[in-house]
Amino acid sequence: MTVPPSAPEPPSAPEPSPAPDPLRDPWIAPMRQALDEAARAPGTGDVPVGAVVLSADGTVLGTGHNEREATGDPTAHAEVLALRAAAKAVGEWRLTGCTLLVTLEPCTMCAGAIVLSRVDRVVYGARDAKAGAAGSLWDVIRDRRLNHRPEVITGVLEGECAALLTAFFRDR
């Protein structure tokens, strides 16, 4: 018995592009800057977390990456360093109108600094189920008991942000 030749498979349709996400898409380019900043941290043994502070018009006011190992300073988290640089650039501690982008969900210390700095918005990539204080474990940033509650946007380039951290810890 002979098997008839099968018909050629029709060409596969191209994968559809993901639908635009108006909430997250505007933050992709500056999150890539935060990822570039994060990539600098492992050179000193620090966890690869990066942060960027933008003014209301999108100007970069400050950047930072984890430097705890490099400096021996327990407060040298990416967010704190970026907020310090932005405050210096602006000339005051109030960062009203600014957006902080960070590759990893802020911890409680950083969440407190974010609230106290009065930034308008926090955008982060990867969730931190062990220490996150912007919705995962705690939600300090949006706690109704506080006098300032920035908007929080999550999951921007989440896969890339998480992959950088996973690779770092796998290599340790």
CATH number of 25-171: 3.40.140.10
Active site residue 37: no
The strand order across the sheet containing 121-126 reads 60-65, 50-54, 99-104, 121-126, 151-153
Q: Which of 15-19, 44-48, 68-72, 157-161 has the lowest mean pLDDT?
A: 15-19
Which DSSP helix (H) or strand (E) runs through 164?
helix 158-171
Q: Bin 93: left if φ > 0, else alpha if -120 < ψ < 50, else beta.
A: alpha
148 is in an annotated binding site: no
pLDDT, residue 172, reads 85
Catalytic residue among 79, 92, 105, 158: 79
| Domain boundary assignment for the chain | 25-171
State the Cα–Cα distance between residues 163 and 144, nearest whole angstrom: 33
Token pair of 105 as six digits: 């969900």
Confidence of residue 20 (pLDDT cuts 50, 70, 90): confident
Each residue of 62-108: pLDDT tens digit?
A: 999 999 999 999 999 999 999 999 999 999 999 999 999 999 999 99
State the Cα–Cα distance between residues 78 and 34, nearest whole angstrom: 9
State the Cα–Cα distance between residues 22 and 27, nearest whole angstrom: 9
Q: Residue 118: pLDDT above 60?
A: yes
161 is in an annotated binding site: no
